Chains A and B, each alone.
Chain A
């Protein structure tokens, strides 16, 4: 059984082939990292899964499941409080006020921002804003969470903390996560599998199961070793394109 199946999915933008026959199966509750140099169509792939864009070829099946998507920018709405931002998906679904409030409190607790509900987004730090964005995504009650370099703009220490948090939430909420990054260590730190994509057009080069058992640390020996191995492959791929 799978939550998400891509079968030779291609995406063409005019004359540019962004994705070339990508096949991928994701099991329920799996944490899959998509890794590649820039221009490998990682973000395109997420847009397709999120339904923001249509495939040009092949089939994509998410079995009618709800999907939410997080970006590198938290993209919170400044006219709403933190709570208002988290409640927004519920409001759009027509959830009543009391229930919205209860859910938002729960979600604030989950992302450990209890007591920050009445703040404005600009009063929070970058990492906290991403926590709010995560809570907003969770409010959509989707089974599949797509993340497009969500921690790319954060400093290493904040990112480290958010890795732990994301891992905890992923496990507690039994989510299926598709996580795009160009940071090899981050991919090995978080993923059950790391999928290496080639650039222009994006193709699946290799599918690495992550060996190191959880809980992991980004600076542990095992993570570093496997990251080094994948980096070699990635480097070879980049070199292939350099000429």
Chain B
């Protein structure tokens, strides 16, 4: 309910630019928005399944080599109802989260150091980008020699795959803090730690989040490669299960595990995107 004072304030604050405030967000109802976002995806999935089915029934490969979607979905359904499967998922996710967290920690420290100290940047700045382009599977022979066939070997490769992206995200965030904000920092007399705390770190957040997202993608890939190559006795991860399925010639299970890995990847990506979008909305960076 507008009071008198509100009216007074509105009048005194209103220039022509008050028109800029009139952007009322058009919110259609949730169901329709969901449907609008979902139908292209559903259609794409339906198309893929259809093509798969056509290839399967064409008799290009034997049925036990390339089973059709019906068989695979039935096996996948059986699979996800076993406690054993979820133990494998838990193991793999624990590895992923441990490795990713460690990569974030190391990447953040290295990134902040490189962005701050010019000689350090000259020394290892391009090395970080170089590491980022290294296929992570190249690290496994060395990792196995260093740590034998164990959790540490996998962890090593996951961290070295993801940390450079995290570091680079932070570095470019710090490098591209807008000049006008830096000038404001100067005018407000910020320096040293205060400048980091109140200006540099918050300002580099969007770029840091992109780095995290990319780092996650790299660590997930490294982990899957690791689980196929480094079989730790007693640890029945998703990768090991997939290998076992291949050894037993169970194509349907192999494809099921591919689908599981894909779904986990998509779910985590959705999570990162939601964070990214929330940040952008908060900052007013969405181009609506």
Q: Is the CB of A92 within 8 A of B284?
A: no
Q: Is the CB of B188 within 8 A of A140?
A: yes
B114 CB to closest chain A CB, in angstroms? 23
From B180, which residue of chain A is reached at the shortest CB distance?
A75
Interface status of B20 (Cβ within 8 A of chain A): yes
Q: Which residues of A contact B190 (CB under 8 A)?
A: 92
B179 CB to closest chain A CB, in angstroms? 9
Task: Provide the bound-state CA to CA distance between A112 and B13, in Å.
Answer: 7
Out of B15, B183, B203, which one reaches A71, CB within 8 Å? Answer: B183
Q: Is the CB of B13 within 8 A of A127?
A: yes
Q: Which residues of B contact A209 (CB under 8 A)?
A: none
Q: Which residues of B contact A92 (CB under 8 A)?
A: 188-190, 194, 198
B31 CB to closest chain A CB, in angstroms? 28
B250 CB to closest chain A CB, in angstroms? 51
Interface status of B16 (Cβ within 8 A of chain A): yes
Out of B6, B15, B183, B202, which one reaches A79, CB within 8 Å? Answer: B202
Out of A69, A75, A114, A160, which one reaches B9, CB within 8 Å? Answer: A114
Interface status of A61 (Cβ within 8 A of chain B): no
Task: Provide the bound-state CA to CA distance between A121 and B285, in Å.
Answer: 11
A123 CB to closest chain B CB, in angstroms? 7
Interface status of A154 (Cβ within 8 A of chain B): yes
Interface status of B21 (Cβ within 8 A of chain A): yes
Q: Is the CB of A159 within 8 A of B198?
A: no
Q: Is the CB of A77 within 8 A of B188?
A: no
Q: Is the CB of B180 within 8 A of A154?
A: no
Q: Which residues of B contact A156 (CB under 8 A)?
A: 16
Chain B contact patch, size range: 20 to 34
Out of A88, A140, A158, which one reaches B15, CB within 8 Å? Answer: A158
Q: Which residues of A contact B189 (CB under 8 A)?
A: 92
Scan residues 174-211 of chain B and give those whose CB is less than 8 A from a CB of chain A. Answer: 180-181, 183-184, 186-190, 194, 198-199, 202-203, 205
Q: Is the CB of B282 within 8 A of A120?
A: yes
Interface status of B12 (Cβ within 8 A of chain A): yes
Q: Which residues of B contact A126 (CB under 8 A)?
A: 17, 20
Q: Which residues of B contact A123 (CB under 8 A)?
A: 21, 284
Q: Which residues of B contact A121 (CB under 8 A)?
A: 284
Q: Is the CB of B187 within 8 A of A50?
A: yes
Out of B180, B181, B187, which one reaches A52, CB within 8 Å? Answer: B187
Q: Is the CB of A154 within 8 A of B17?
A: yes
Q: Which residues of A contact B186 (CB under 8 A)?
A: 52
Interface status of B18 (Cβ within 8 A of chain A): yes
**By the criterion of a CB under 8 Å from any partner CB, how many residues of chain A are at the interface?**
39
B11 CB to closest chain A CB, in angstroms? 10
Q: Which residues of B contact A158 (CB under 8 A)?
A: 15-17
Residue-wise interface mask of B (5-32) relative to A, using a CB-CB cutoff of 8 A (1 in contact, 0 not):
1100100111111111100000000000
Task: Provide the bound-state CA to CA distance between A92 and B188, in Å.
Answer: 8
From B279, which residue of chain A is reached at the shortest CB distance?
A79
Out of B15, B183, B194, which one reaches A127, CB within 8 Å? Answer: B15
Interface status of B283 (Cβ within 8 A of chain A): yes
Q: Is the CB of A155 within 8 A of B16?
A: yes
Residue-wise interface mask of A (153-169) relative to B, using a CB-CB cutoff of 8 A (1 in contact, 0 not):
01111111110010000
Q: Is the CB of A78 within 8 A of B184?
A: no
Q: Which residues of A contact B199 (CB under 8 A)?
A: 77
Interface status of A236 (Cβ within 8 A of chain B): no
- Between B15, B19, B285, the greatest number of chain A beta carbons within 10 A of the residue's beta carbon is seen for B15
Beyond the given pairs A79-B282, A88-B198, A120-B282, 9 more chain A to chain B contacts, judged by CB atoms under 8 angstroms and listed by A's residue number, are A52-B183, A52-B186, A69-B187, A79-B202, A92-B188, A115-B9, A120-B283, A120-B284, A155-B15
A positions within 8 Å CB-CB of B: 50, 52, 68-69, 71, 73, 75, 77-79, 88-89, 91-92, 112-115, 120-128, 131, 140, 154-162, 165
B positions within 8 Å CB-CB of A: 5-6, 9, 12-21, 180-181, 183-184, 186-190, 194, 198-199, 202-203, 205, 282-285
Of the A-B pairs whose beta carbons lie under 8 Å apart in the complex, a sample of 27, sorted by A's number, is A50-B187, A52-B186, A52-B187, A68-B187, A77-B181, A77-B202, A78-B284, A78-B285, A79-B282, A79-B283, A89-B188, A92-B194, A112-B9, A120-B283, A122-B284, A124-B21, A125-B17, A125-B18, A125-B20, A127-B18, A128-B13, A140-B188, A154-B15, A154-B17, A161-B13, A161-B14, A165-B12
